[in-house]
Structure 1
Amino acid sequence: MKFSFAWLKHYLDTDLSPQEIGEALVNLGLEVESLNDQGLLLAPFKVGYITETEPHPNADRLQICHVDLGKGNLSKVVCGAPNARPGIWVVYAPLGSLIPSTKQVLKSSEIRGVLSEGMLCSQKELGLADESNGIMELSGHFTAGASFKDVIHFGEILFDLKITPNRPDCFGVFGIARDLSAKQLGTLKTPTVPKIQGSFQSPLSVSLDPEVIARNACPQFMGCYIRGVKNCESPPWLKSFLTAAGLKPISALVDITNYLSLGFSRPLHVFDAHKISDLTVRFAKVSETFEGLNGTTYSLDPSILIISDSYGVQSIAGIMGAMSSGCTLETQDVFLECALFDPILIGKTGQKLMIQSDARQRFERGVDPLSVSFGLQTGLRLILDICGGTPSHILDLSPKAYLPRHASLTYDHFFQKTGVDVSPQESKDTLCRLGFTPTQETSETLTLEIPSWRPDVKKEEDLIEEILRLKGFDSLPNLPLPPFSKALESDTLLTPFQEKQIFLKRLLAQRGLSECVTYALISEEEFSY
């Protein structure tokens, strides 16, 4: 998961450097795969303007682009991108610059007999996206020859974290900031979103199929109809956050949903309201088909949860919306959906259809069950602020209420299981900073309500791990194993050879050696080789 230091500081008031934050994240159990100063990598790149193009004399699929770099500088660049054309602002890599995606220095070269004086870059080549189709086009008006880094305000430090499946809360930048705040490395800036009151009844209705309710496939569904929006280009702060995360800004309506998904691990979907009718959450029928926003058509079956209307399937629930109901710059009315879906169901559907999406990644790991209202209200507030419009009354379908979960900690057990001496008050304070709420306490035990965003916490050992995680795993004492005079009691069923084997393993472990247990799924011949 990629995000910028600026995005993290949007939720966390801290004086720590990016390097100190990176070390703290590792100590919290969040693996930092890389920490890059993207500003240094992008410093050599310039903003250019294609004034004209001409066909390549020796290649049908290549063309020669005349790029204005300001102050009378004009470069000729050989380019094969399908979207290269006169009248667009592009990112120009001068000779000698290091291309972030390949880590290679750009050298002067002839391409099919024509000298190319630099390179026009795609988002992928700049390290700003995993995939891209053609060269990067810049929206707006710029000064030819200006620094690309300064134009997009991207002198950023980028974090790339490998989030384990048991921490779905950290698939949002806010969740990572919350962990750092709990470790007392900064002050968490919790967003407050006042509830927006609609002024009319939604023209669209939503219903849950009885089978969906019976199987608890959609515990909650909220929606809002918004009239008179003006879809537009996203503001610079939003584009900067998404670009740093490797996403291409598309339009304000789409970018807002991506922002909430990556920022708060709260996927939403926005439909063009003029392209849909009354919605039903149900399971697909045999041989139903669906064309996704990625342009691929999928064959569905009754195991797949969908959102449909009289026109057909408008969304594979929790995974992807339909091409037919997607928003464009001409969209005027929208229906904003925020729901909760069964994570196992979403995971199986994603595997079956082989669809990878940010929404699926979060839903199949477990989205916070109490985030639906927050997600809808936050998305609605952003849409009204950026795109304008008038909202309807909120539609709220919640067939089953959320039931809080609890876990108990016996204070003496912490020392018994870790060897670390932590007072009952410190244990309680640590868990409270993590969002746990005490419900019952005695001199020996503490019972707490588990935060809704922590599905991985279930029992006492999990509470002990949380306390130790914030105190620091390096606080665990490095103690030798106790003396071991004999392997096992004489009344065991082990053979003398097995007893001797266990004794020798223990003896070697006492001397600091570690046992390597390898897979036995190979033949003896391969092993001996």
Structure 2
Amino acid sequence: MRVSLQWLQELVSCPWPVALLAERLSIAGLEVEDILEPGKPLTGVVVGKVLACEAHPDADKLSLCRVDVGGPQPLQIVCGAPNVRAHVHVPVAPVGCRLPAIDLTIQRTRLRGVDSEGMICSLAELGQEGDTTGICILEEQSLTGPLTPGAAVAPLLGLDDVVLDVAVTANRPDGLSMVGIAREVAALCGETVSPPTAPRRPATAMALNRFAQGCRLFSLSTVENVAIGPSPLWLRRRLERAGLRSINTAVDVTNLVMLETGQPMHAFDGERVTGGCAAIHVRFAQPGENLHTLDGQQLSLATGHLVVADGAGPVALAGVMGGAPTQITSRTRRILLEAAVFDPTAVRRSARLAGLRSESSSRFERGVAPQATLAAADRAVALLEQLCGGTSVERQVACHPGVLEERQAPLRRRALHRLLGPMADGAPVQDATVEGCLRALGCGLAPTDEGWLVTVPHSRCQDLCREVDLVEEVARLVGYDRFGAALPTALAPGGRNRRQNLLHQLRQRLVATGLQELCHMSLDQGGPGALALANPLVNDHSHLRTVLYTGLLRAAQSNAQQGNGGLWGFEVGKVFSTVGPQREQQKLGAVLCGQQQHSLWCDGGKAAPLDFHEALGGMERVLASLGIRLQRQAMAATEGVEPLLHPGRSVALMLPGGVFAGWFGQVHPRVTRSWDLPEDVFLLEAELMPLLDAAEQHQGPAPRFQPFSLMPAAERDLAVVVGQAIGSGALMDAIRVAGEPLLEAVHYLSRFDGGDMAPDTCSHAFRLVFRGEQTLTDAQVEAALATVLSVLEERFQARRRA
């Protein structure tokens, strides 16, 4: 937002110099990025009066001029402009003056044998818009003062202004208007704002069904018998200071009021609107409709475009840009002036779909105060009557319920003191200071037991929504530097809690085992129970993931396709579901695909397939190192992974007490073929919270040193026949307990079924290692082995296989 200092002074009397004003605005949150001086390029250019103009003695197209610039003697200047003549006032750049517009420093020169002591300038050479066919005749310009030889030209052309380039944040739409900036300056320096006023026009109501929900308020003012022409100099200058170009009187008035009040407007040629006022309505575009915009584009409208339409179709892209067929021209005699409040989301969507952005859309996207819309329309109508000679005929208004309601927010004294702390002198901010700051913003205050009930002014209704917003305003206006800077006295030391430490240890031990940590997006194509995104960027990532293993399989597939061999990886992440009691869970997933690294020196470069028990045992050892003891059970149909896993090589992992922790298994060959993966692919997916709960509850014995035994060990192989439903883990646990104190270790060798064995039975083979404090005899070993076999027979009806 470019702020003209002369315009600002008309709205509020500010005693500060420019530099201090820019500093205070920046500290308050409206950062001044640059200070522009439009008249600076004209430094040194003065008014000159041409006393005489004669033909050059040695050139047909040059003139020899004697120019009075207020010095003791007139200057002799050679000029080649065809319109130079005697007894007119012109801008003169004397010797030593620099003209940045043409990158030229004036020097004393000799042209065709005649000395020239300066340069008579055109508007283009001064960096201004205008006729470039000759020099600038000041009598032909709209000037702000008398013509005196030697006086500076910049003030006469209205270029003695200073412009502040203010960066307005998205939460301060009031900063996109001169009145809004004036209110901020008045609050900072304790002055009063004097905004321009206009008489209120009577209005009649329009039917609300003519206006979509994207239009909160719509007014249409009719001004007849207008005469459209160029705008006066003061109006053109104000638009130029703001970075806008002058179009014609009517369009310039709408732009001026937009800059002044922040309310965008649009003027239609009433004679080109099909059906007149009664046909104007706001709706969303229909497929196949087009709009020829003011910038010359032909837009193909989509259903997301919010448009203003008449009886024939769209005439404007609502809040963004008008249409060329109904634009104001020099032949316009009847104006329909639109002043509306469109929904910020609808305008943003329309601008994005159309690829257009305008001064109007930037204001609607931030939010426009509906309480000030009709006052802005009154101001525009008054200017149209003044500058175009028109007559206001009627106004029609449609407003949805609740749009004009005031906003109120409570401000508690205790919360304000807690957030701001004491002032630099140690005292809390006083109530009178708080009330003064809020009243300076235009807030209404009603005292309550805990503080105040604040009525927010309409100009700030977009950003003053909560109690903390009001506290921020008090801090801004008082000055952040006036509050104490003491640090909090009690700072809690940082660090991980026990659960975070356990998760960190789990990650470290998985990495130490040889797995890499993977991280995938939480979005995928979706499936049963998946939560869909309202507005996905791409179809392949349109739902929140419900499982981790799809991302792990995709990583393994990518690794294999790139010839990188096997992939051992794990991921800790969240999954989401629309069914079940837990809609969001954190899980641990792992994939073991192929051999992690080929052992060229011993395997001859050939990849050895990964065994199911070896893979599962590795995962169990990692979890056991954290005190998590898992039991294996047959996979239940309720786990929902039957088509994914091999039916004979998958197990459910259970915690003590029958708590389901997850599952592990080999991927079904049919699935590996569809993914173009090797057959030896294993997956783990476990619920992380039950695992960490079990790790937290585990209280292992204190570590103690035990010397290595010097006695030899005795080994025995034991094969037992049991029912197929009995797992090897339960047998090994029973063997460990029954073999104490001589049993040192038990190793699982194999599982066998079929052959001459009875149906529903299988054989499990174990190797038992015995060691004592002295060398064991065969009798001692056989006695311990018999004890183990007796326990297995009693608990599992096992019999020793011959």
Partner of 2:414: 412
Q: State the partner residue of 1:2.
A: 2
**Structure-1 separation of matches of 2:20 and 2:448:** 38
Q: Tell me what 1:18 maps to.
A: 18
SS at the partner of 2:308? strand
Pair 1:249–1:137, CA change in 2 (3 A): farther
Output the amino acid matched with 2:196.
Answer: P
Mean Cα displacement is larger for which, 313-322 or 229-238? Answer: 229-238
CA displacement, residues 433-453 of structure 1 (integer Å, 9 cap, x when unaligned): 2122224x2242212122222
Q: Report the counterpart of residue 315 of structure 1 in structure 2.
A: 316
- C-alpha offsets along residues 314-355 of structure 1, whole Å, 9 cap, x if unaligned? 211111111221112332211111111001111111122121
Distance 2:91 2:230 in 1: 19
Matched residue of 2:357: which SS?
coil
1:210-221 alignment to 2 at 5 Å? 212-213=211-212, 216-221=213-218
Q: In structure 2, what is the equivalent of residue 503 of structure 1?
A: none
**Equivalent-residue separation in structure 2 for 1:356 and 1:96 (angstroms):** 44
Q: Does the C-alpha gap of structure 1 residues 436 and 68 become closer, same or farther in structure 2, counting only changes over 3 Å?
A: farther
| 1:406-444 deviations in Å (ceiling 9; x for gaps) | 2111112222112132122321231122122224x2242
- Following superposition, the deviation at residue 484 of structure 1 comes to 4.5
Q: 1:437 aligns with which of 432, 436, 444?
A: 444
Deviations 1:376-421 (A, max 9, x none): 1111111111212221121111132323222111112222112132
In the TM superposition, what whole-angstrom CA distance separates every residue of 1:177-210 from its partner, at most 9, and x where no partner exists?
1011122342211333221358xx9xxx976656
Q: CA RMSD in A?
A: 4.1
Q: Give the whole-Å Cα distance in 2 for the aligned partners of 1:196 and 1:90.
A: 46
Q: Summarize the Cα distance change of 1:417–1:34 in structure 2 as closer, same or farther, 3 Å threshold.
A: same
Paired letter, 1:183: L
1:61 aligned partner: none
Q: 1:173 aligns with which of 172, 178, 185?
A: 178
Tell me, yes or no, if structure 1 residue 424 matches structure 2 residue 431: yes
Cα distance, 1:23 vs. partner?
1.6
| TM superposition score normalised by structure 2 | 0.51
Distance 1:9 1:17 in 2: 12
What do residues 292-325 of structure 1 show as CA deviations (whole Å, max 9, x unaligned)?
2212222211111111223442211111111221
Q: 2: CA distance between counterparts of 1:312 and 1:269?
A: 17
**Conserved? CA contact 2:90–2:138, under 8 Å:** no
Structure 2 counterpart of 1:227: 224
Report what 2:351 is aligned to.
Answer: 350
Matched, 1:452 2:458: yes
Matching residue of 1:505: none
Q: Distance in 1 between matches of 2:137 and 2:301?
A: 38
The equivalent of 1:525 in structure 2 is: none
Distance 2:29 2:245 in 1: 30
CA contact (8 A) 1:229 1:332 kept: yes
Q: In 1, distance between residues paired with 2:124 and 2:370?
A: 38
Deviation for aligned residue 1:3:
2.1
Please state whether the residue corresponding to 1:407 is helix, strand or coil.
Answer: strand
* Alignment CA distance shift 1:429-1:188 (3 Å): same
For residues 503 and 215 of structure 2, what CA distance do their matches in structure 1 show?
58
Q: Is the 8 A contact 1:5 1:156 kept in 2?
A: yes
The 3 A distance-change label for structure 1 pair 139 and 118 is closer
Report if aligned partners of 1:369, 1:453 keep a CA contact under 8 Å in 2.
Answer: no
Asked if the contact 1:169–1:453 (Cα under 8 Å) also holds between the matched residues in 2, the reply is yes
Correspondence for 1:31? 31
Indicate the residue corresponding to 1:502 in structure 2. none
Of structures 1 and 2, the larger Rg is shown by: 2
Could you list the per-position Cα deviations for residues 53-94 of structure 1 after superposition, in whole angstroms to 9, with x for gaps in the alignment?
xxxxxxxxxxx99999977856448xxxxxx999xx999988
- Alignment partner of 1:255 out of 249, 252, 255: 252
Provide the rounded CA distance (Å) in 2 between the counterparts of 1:254 and 1:65.
42
- Say which is worse superposed, 273-282 or 315-324, in terms of deviation: 273-282
**How far has the Cα of 1:475 moved from its partner?**
1.7
**Local SS of the residue matching 1:301:** coil
Which of residues 158, 179, 190 is equivalent to 1:153? Answer: 158
CA distance in 1, matches of 2:268, 2:8: 29
Alignment partners' CA distance in 2, 1:141 and 1:410: 63
C-alpha distance in structure 1 between counterparts of 2:239 and 2:300, whole Å: 31
Moved more, 273-282 or 23-32: 273-282
TM-score, with structure 1 as normaliser: 0.75
1:475-494 aligned within 5 A: 475-482=482-489, 484=491, 486-487=493-494, 493-494=500-501
Cα separation, partners in 2 of 1:427 and 1:340, compared to 1, 3 Å: same
Structure-2 residue corresponding to 1:401: 402
Moved more, 408-417 or 441-450: 441-450
Question: Conserved in 1, the CA contact under 8 Å of 2:264 and 2:339?
Answer: yes
Give the residue type in structure 1 aligned to 2:40. Answer: L
Distance 1:482 1:395, change over 3 A: same
Q: Alpha carbons of 1:480 and 1:353: their partners in 2 closer, same or farther (altered >3 Å)?
A: same
Q: What secondary structure does 1:10 align onto? A: helix
Greater relative contact order, per chain length (Cα 8 Å cut-off, separation 6+): 1
* Matched residue SS, 1:303: coil
Q: Quick one: structure 1 residues 344 and 496, their matched pair in 2 at CA, closer, same or farther if it must change by over 3 Å?
A: closer
Q: State the partner residue of 1:58.
A: none
Residue number in structure 2 paired with 1:55: none
Change (3 A) 1:407 1:16: same
Distance 1:44 1:332 in 2: 45
2:571 alignment counterpart: none
Deviation at 1:106, TM superposition (A): 5.6
Q: CA deviation at 1:287?
A: 2.4
CA distance in 1, matches of 2:389, 2:62: 39
Secondary structure class of the residue paired with 1:238:
helix
How do residues 97-136 of structure 1 correspond to structure 2 at under 5 angstroms? 105=104, 126=127
Residue 119 of structure 1 and its aligned partner are, at CA, apart by 8.2
- Residues 27 and 329 from structure 1, CA distance in 2 versus in 1: closer, same or farther, beyond 3 angstroms? same
Three-state SS of the structure 1 residue aligned to 2:215 is coil
Secondary structure of 1:371's aligned partner? helix
Which ranges in structure 2 are unaligned for 5 or more consecutive residues?
49-60, 69-75, 108-118, 142-146, 423-427, 506-802
**Deviation for aligned residue 1:237:** 2.7
Query: What secondary structure is seen at the aligned counterpart in 2 of 1:34?
Result: strand
Structure 1 residues 70 and 165: CA distance shift in structure 2, 3 A: farther
Cα contact 2:228–2:249 (8 A) shared by 1: yes
Partner of 2:602: none
Q: 1:280 to 1:137 in 2, by over 3 A?
A: farther
Per the alignment, residue 296 of structure 1 pairs with 297
1:40 aligned residue: 40
- In structure 2, the CA distance between the partners of 1:419 and 1:341, relative to structure 1 (3 Å rule), is same
Report % sequence identity. 26
